[in-house]
């Protein structure tokens, strides 16, 4: 009888429209006469969601029946962006839905725009997690993502008088059709309190943590559809709620108001995403977020495991957990606590389960980004966890001591506890000790962690514990969705859309690199995408880009000194000064160019904010200088986010990935630009190295000092002094001469380069950068050659699919198989 009532998925225009109308009238309680675009977006989404949930249910049933090992991806950030367009593409219903909403009097593109971005992440790490869940679903892996459902995502950036102003991103203003509230799932999470030490009847020591404050974790599920498959995985995000247990002492004393207020505080745990990228601020609330999310997720996983009635020895045949950076490292301690304190396993058996469960991905070598927590804070917030950390550290140091007797220096270097004032817990070390594999995110970076920050651990564990998985991006969102015209052109030559599942098939495009008809079409797609970006720029900044044939030179990413937007803007100033010096006749030899920037600064990062202001001031001067005309335009696109990236990436001729060598772990926007037919100017850093290897060095503009020389150069700056090149001095003089607003304002920026060691080697790389830019100009003049480079780059970018990255994790780290194998 159940079968008879099974929910029908829409599969035709008729059934779609039927469901749409039903959702308008019942779910939204609106009449069709009063259905605006927002309502139409919601009814469309609800209809798609019905299909997803149907498949989601079947997927979960199938995975439960198969009962194989599952992978859980723990990430404090999931930078998902919009869901509707992506769902349409992945379920291959886009054309049908476009026609249907057209029938109903709406334009699909307009409806898509109504959706707010799910911006629950800062930058690279959060977007990587989003690409990974797409690939896990598409590859039909039994996999869940676990994170936090922040009420406020990354702030929205406004530019006022050239300055960044942050405004809150309350993204849940309207009903969110893409989440399923699981109010029935209520997991108690404790904080504070004390530890009780007792002995059981056999004289064995027992520890029992009595929590002092309790909040409830409730689940919200986000279905993640795979591409061209019915597989729909789950992304479970936790939200904090008050308990319904009141503080009766307060309550009885008549202090009702305060009793309620205490409860309300619970919700602040998941209220807001910390907006720091690559900087550890060490705030108590952040540690609370981490424990809250990790404890709830482990509780969920263990509940699922226990249903199978297996012995604990089989836990690691069923569960793999990946730690996306050190943010979830407390999971290592929590699992050990559950196994030892609550399940009564012997320490060693528990520890072996723990270490075989976890894998740890490192995303940065910057010292200021490595998480450390004061011991005192742990003592208060998670007293039992601190004890366990001490024990983990003790046993670890004992084995090190055995292996390297009498090397006290080594012991203090690798200790989880840093003996500083105040004493701190080094989360990266804890993550290494508690995992069976540690990976970096690009070859160069994975080599660097072995030879610098984790060198001692290679000595202790051997090199095989450390591995590389080069990042990737999902071709569904970053090619098909962002660049439909290019996808169509590619499909016309490859004969099918199979490349979206096996991106290496792009290789075949090489055959057409000299086909003049194809080259022409390829160039036309780029021009169209540039026109789309010109429209966006006009809408957001009111700046007119008069010449769509100009070279679009783009740098969009978080603003950070190590990413060196300052090098880029100094280069722009240099160009401007050259144009000014040239005679009207000479000016004709300059290739017209548009320099485009975008990205957010952490709210408390003063130097990064100054860089934003400088870019805007330079734009103001240059864009209004009649001497310059169409030769140079400078644009800062406000509020860079995933949706804007989808318009920006397809529109680049050139993009900039110019970090100081050795500082950018991988970069993923470099991959997005290459996949969309843009060329790269970049340093020998992160995944640029592998991009060069794949596409050929004749197709990329590399410059700058190599990572192996950076420390030496910094040392020399400090002890021998240094001189900036003439070209850079000239740029700085122009700033100081108030050519771009009040030069005094940029003093700190200038001084850090001129007098304080130039930590990011702007001066050392400047001339080499300018030379690379000259080469760019030269190459761009030869359109045919340029387009050929573009085609060859795309043809050879197949390696950078997140599908490939996920397959590597599955095989090399998780030992998890796709459901169909
Ligand atoms: C504790 C504060 C904090 C917050 C975020 C420290 C570090 C982070 C992230 C790890 C920063 C981040 O997003 N890193 C980027 O990760 C990408 C995905 O692997 C890489 O492509 C980027 O190179 C790296 O900067």
Specify the pLDDT at position 254. 79
Q: How far is CA 157 from CA 195, 245, 576, 773, in A?
A: 45, 40, 27, 30
Tokens standing for 549? 């044939």
Distance between CA atoms of 18 and 32, rounded to whole angstroms?
12
Residues 149-157: what's their mean pLDDT? 98
In this structure, the residues whose C-beta lies within 6 A of any atom of ligand 1 are: 122-125, 128, 276-280, 325, 363-364, 369, 371, 441, 471, 664-668, 686
Specify the pLDDT at position 526. 98
Distance between CA atoms of 687 and 443, rounded to whole angstroms?
7
Residues 554-574: what's their mean pLDDT? 99
Q: How far is CA 581 from CA 177, 424, 805, in A?
A: 57, 56, 49
CA of 561 to the centre of ligand 1 (A): 14
Say which of 229, 663, 668, 683 is annotated catalytic. 668
The strand pairing partners of 237, in sequence order, are 147, 220
Residues whose CB is less than 8 angstroms from the CB of residue 540 and which lie 6 or more positions away in sequence, other chains included: 637, 638, 639
Distance between CA atoms of 249 and 271, rounded to whole angstroms?
28
Residues 520-536: what's their mean pLDDT? 98
Q: Give the residue whose CA is nearest to atom 21 of ligand 1.
A: 667
CA of 446 to the centre of ligand 1 (A): 14
The strand pairing partners of 205, in sequence order, are 199
Specify the pLDDT at position 250. 66
Contact (CB, 8 A) for 422 and 374: yes
Say which of 149, 337, 385, 563 is annotated catalytic. 563
Q: Assess whether 98 carries a catalytic annotation.
A: no
Contact (CB, 8 A) for 431 and 402: no
> What percentage of the chain has pLDDT greater than the value 90?
95
Pairing of strands 632-637, 143-148: unpaired
Of 5-9, 121-125, 527-531, the range with the lowest mean pLDDT is: 5-9
Give residue-wise pLDDT tens across range 19-78. Answer: 999 999 999 999 999 999 999 999 999 999 999 999 999 999 999 999 999 999 999 999
Q: Assess whether 668 carries a catalytic annotation.
A: yes
pLDDT at 247 over 70: no
Distance between CA atoms of 247 and 230, rounded to whole angstroms?
48
* Whole-number average pLDDT of the chain: 97
Specify the pLDDT at position 261. 82
CA of 258 to the centre of ligand 1 (A): 40
Helix (H, G, I), strand (E, B) or coil at 193: coil
CA of 278 to the centre of ligand 1 (A): 5
What angle in degrees, to the nearest 10, is found between the helix axes of 688-695 and 443-451?
140
Contact (CB, 8 A) for 795 and 506: yes
Distance between CA atoms of 127 and 666, rounded to whole angstroms?
13
Give residue-wise pLDDT tens across range 265-314. Answer: 899 999 999 999 999 999 999 999 999 999 999 999 999 999 999 999 99
Contact (CB, 8 A) for 617 and 517: no
- The torsion angle over the Cα atoms of residues 785, 790, 793 and 797, rounded to 10 degrees, is -170
pLDDT at 246 over 70: no
Residues 161-165: what's their mean pLDDT? 98
Q: Give the residue whose CA is nearest to atom 22 of ligand 1.
A: 667
Distance between CA atoms of 504 and 798, rounded to whole angstroms?
4
Of 258-272, 599-613, 742-756, the range with the lowest mean pLDDT is: 258-272
pLDDT at 811 over 80: yes
Tokens standing for 474? 């999902």
Nearest to 556 by CA among 611, 502, 588, 596: 596
Complex ipTM over 0.90: yes
What angle in degrees, to the nearest 10, is found between the helix axes of 94-103 and 13-22?
60
Distance between CA atoms of 584 and 599, rounded to whole angstroms?
35
Give residue-wise pLDDT tens across range 419-453. Answer: 999 999 999 999 999 999 999 999 999 999 999 99
pLDDT at 115 over 90: yes
Give residue-wise pLDDT tens across range 65-75. Answer: 999 999 999 99
Give residue-wise pLDDT tens across range 692-711. Answer: 999 999 999 999 999 999 99
pLDDT at 197 over 70: yes
Q: Please name the residue that has the structure tokens 């675009």.
A: 37
Q: Which helix (H) or strand (E) holds 734?
A: helix 726-736
CB atoms closer than 10 angstroms to residue 698? 10
What angle in degrees, to the nearest 10, is found between the helix axes of 726-736 and 762-781?
100
pLDDT at 4 over 90: no
Contact (CB, 8 A) for 23 and 30: no
Which of 75, 277, 284, 473, when mutated, tests ligand 1's pocket best, judged by the most ligand atoms within 8 Å of its CB?
A: 277
Specify the pLDDT at position 799. 99
- Where helices occur in 553-635 by DSSP H, the ranges are 565-581, 584-587, 606-623
Tokens standing for 678? 């843009």
What is the largest distance, in Å, between two alpha-carbon atoms of the chain? Answer: 96
- Where helices occur in 117-255 by DSSP H, the ranges are 124-138, 248-252
Q: Assess whether 558 carries a catalytic annotation.
A: yes
Specify the pLDDT at position 636. 99
Q: Assess whether 633 carries a catalytic annotation.
A: no
Tokens standing for 273? 């995403």
Q: Give all strands (DSSP E) within 469-576, no chain letters.
A: 551-556
- Where helices occur in 721-761 by DSSP H, the ranges are 726-736, 747-754
Q: Assess whether 507 carries a catalytic annotation.
A: no
Specify the pLDDT at position 262. 74
What's the pLDDT band for 260 if we cut at 50, 70, 90? confident
Give residue-wise pLDDT tens across range 484-517. Answer: 999 999 999 999 999 999 999 999 999 999 999 9
Contact (CB, 8 A) for 766 and 725: yes
User: Three-state SS string across 365-404, please?
Assistant: CCHHHCCEEEHHHHHHHCHHHHHHHHHHHHHHHHHHHHHC
Backbone angles phi, psi at 539, to 5 degrees: -65, -40
Which of 78, 124, 808, when mutated, tests ligand 1's pocket best, judged by the most ligand atoms within 8 Å of its CB?
A: 124
Distance between CA atoms of 569 and 286, rounded to whole angstroms?
34
Domains annotated for the chain, with CATH where assigned, are: 6-470+808-814 (3.40.50.2000), 532-778 (3.40.50.2000)
Residues 203-228: what's their mean pLDDT? 96
- The torsion angle over the Cα atoms of residues 575, 577, 583 and 589, rounded to 10 degrees, is 0
Distance between CA atoms of 714 and 757, rounded to whole angstroms?
7
Helix (H, G, I), strand (E, B) or coil at 359: strand
pLDDT at 251 over 70: no
pLDDT at 259 over 80: no
pLDDT at 648 over 80: yes
Say which of 633, 672, 789, 804 is annotated catalytic. 672
Residues 200-225: what's their mean pLDDT? 95
Residues 679-704: what's their mean pLDDT? 99
pLDDT at 554 over 90: yes
Q: Quote the pTM value.
A: 0.98
Say which of 114, 327, 372, 558 is annotated catalytic. 558
Which DSSP symbol is given to 437? Answer: E
Contact (CB, 8 A) for 320 and 357: yes
Q: Give the residue whose CA is nearest to atom 6 of ligand 1.
A: 278
CA of 421 to the centre of ligand 1 (A): 27
Distance between CA atoms of 558 and 278, rounded to whole angstroms?
10
Distance between CA atoms of 268 and 421, rounded to whole angstroms?
30
């Amino acid at each position: 009888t159940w079968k008879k009532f099974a929910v029908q998925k829409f599969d035709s225009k008729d059934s779609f429209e039927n469901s749409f109308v039903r959702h308008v009238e019942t779910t939204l309680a609106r009449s069709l006469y009063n259905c605006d675009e927002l309502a139409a977006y919601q009814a469309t989404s609800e209809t798609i969601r019905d299909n997803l949930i149907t498949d989601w249910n079947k997927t979960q049933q199938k995975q439960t029946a198969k009962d194989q090992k599952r992978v859980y991806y723990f990430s404090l950030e999931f930078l998902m962006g919009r869901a509707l367009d992506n769902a349409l593409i992945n379920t291959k219903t886009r054309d049908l839905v476009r026609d249907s909403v057209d029938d109903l009097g709406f334009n699909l593109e307009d409806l898509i725009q109504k959706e707010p971005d799910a911006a629950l992440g800062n930058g690279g790490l959060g977007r990587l997690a989003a690409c990974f869940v797409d690939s896990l679903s598409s590859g039909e892996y039994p996999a869940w993502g676990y994170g936090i459902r922040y009420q406020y995502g990354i702030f929205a950036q406004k530019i006022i008088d050239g300055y960044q102003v942050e405004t809150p991103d309350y993204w849940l203003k309207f009903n969110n059709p893409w989440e399923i509230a699981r109010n029935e799932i209520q997991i108690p999470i404790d904080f504070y309190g004390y530890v009780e030490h007792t002995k059981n009847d056999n004289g064995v020591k027992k520890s029992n943590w009595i929590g002092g404050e309790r909040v409830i974790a409730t689940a919200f599920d986000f279905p993640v559809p795979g591409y061209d498959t019915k597989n729909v995985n789950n992304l479970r995000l936790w939200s904090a709620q008050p308990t319904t247990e009141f503080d009766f002492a307060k309550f009885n004393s008549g202090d009702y108001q305060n009793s309620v207020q205490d409860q309300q505080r619970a919700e602040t745990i998941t209220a807001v995403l910390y907006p720091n990228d690559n900087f550890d601020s060490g705030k108590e609330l952040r540690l609370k977020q981490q424990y809250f999310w990790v404890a709830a997720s482990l509780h969920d996983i263990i509940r699922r495991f226990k249903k199978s009635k297996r012995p604990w020895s089989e836990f690691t045949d069923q569960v793999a957990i990946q730690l996306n950076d050190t943010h979830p490292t407390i999971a290592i301690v929590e699992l050990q606590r559950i196994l030892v304190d609550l399940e009564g396993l012997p320490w060693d058996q528990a520890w072996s389960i723990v270490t075989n469960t976890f894998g740890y991905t490192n995303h940065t070598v910057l010292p200021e980004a490595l998480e450390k927590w004061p011991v005192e804070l742990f003592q208060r917030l998670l007293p039992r966890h601190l004890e366990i950390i001490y024990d983990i550290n003790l046993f670890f140091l004992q084995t090190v001591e055995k292996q390297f007797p009498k090397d006290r220096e080594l012991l203090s270097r690798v200790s989880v506890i840093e003996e500083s004032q105040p004493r701190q817990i080094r989360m990266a070390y804890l993550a290494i000790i508690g995992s069976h594999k540690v990976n970096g995110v690009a070859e160069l970076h994975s080599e660097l962690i072995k030879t610098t920050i984790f060198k001692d651990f290679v000595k202790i564990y051997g090199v095989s514990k450390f591995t590389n998985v080069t990042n990737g991006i999902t071709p569904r969102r970053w090619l098909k969705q962002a660049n439909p015209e290019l996808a169509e052109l590619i499909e016309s030559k490859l004969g099918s859309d199979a490349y979206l599942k096996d991106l290496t098939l792009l290789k075949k495009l090489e055959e057409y690199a000299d086909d003049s008809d194809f080259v022409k079409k390829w160039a036309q797609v780029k021009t169209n995408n540039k026109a789309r970006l010109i429209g966006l720029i006009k809408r957001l900044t009111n700046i007119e880009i008069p010449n769509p044939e100009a070279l679009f030179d783009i740098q969009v990413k978080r603003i950070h000194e190590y990413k060196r937007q300052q090098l880029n803007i100094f280069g722009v100033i240099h160009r401007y000064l050259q144009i000014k010096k040239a005679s009207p006749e000479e000016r004709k030899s300059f290739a017209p160019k548009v320099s485009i920037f975008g990205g957010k600064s952490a709210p408390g990062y003063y130097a990064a904010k100054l860089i934003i202001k400088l870019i805007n001031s330079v734009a103001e001067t240059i864009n209004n200088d009649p001497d310059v005309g169409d030769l140079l335009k400078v644009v800062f696109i406000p509020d860079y986010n995933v949706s804007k990236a989808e318009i920006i990436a397809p529109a680049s001729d050139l993009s900039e990935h110019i970090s100081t060598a050795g500082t950018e772990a991988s970069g993923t926007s470099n991959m997005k630009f290459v996949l969309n037919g843009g060329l790269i100017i970049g340093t020998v850093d992160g995944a640029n190295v592998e991009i060069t290897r794949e596409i050929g060095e004749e197709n990329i503009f590399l410059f700058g000092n190599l990572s192996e020389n950076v420390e030496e150069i910094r040392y020399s700056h400090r002890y021998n002094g240094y001189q900036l090149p003439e070209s850079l001095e000239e740029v700085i003089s122009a700033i100081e001469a108030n050519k771009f607003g009040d030069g005094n304002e940029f003093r700190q920026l200038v001084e850090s380069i001129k007098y304080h060691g130039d930590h990011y080697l702007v001066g050392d790389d400047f001339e080499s950068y300018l030379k690379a830019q000259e080469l760019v100009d030269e190459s761009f003049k030869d359109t045919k050659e340029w387009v050929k480079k573009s085609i060859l780059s795309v043809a050879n970018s197949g390696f950078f699919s997140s599908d490939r990255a996920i397959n590597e994790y599955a095989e090399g780290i998780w030992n998890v198989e796709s459901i169909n194998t």
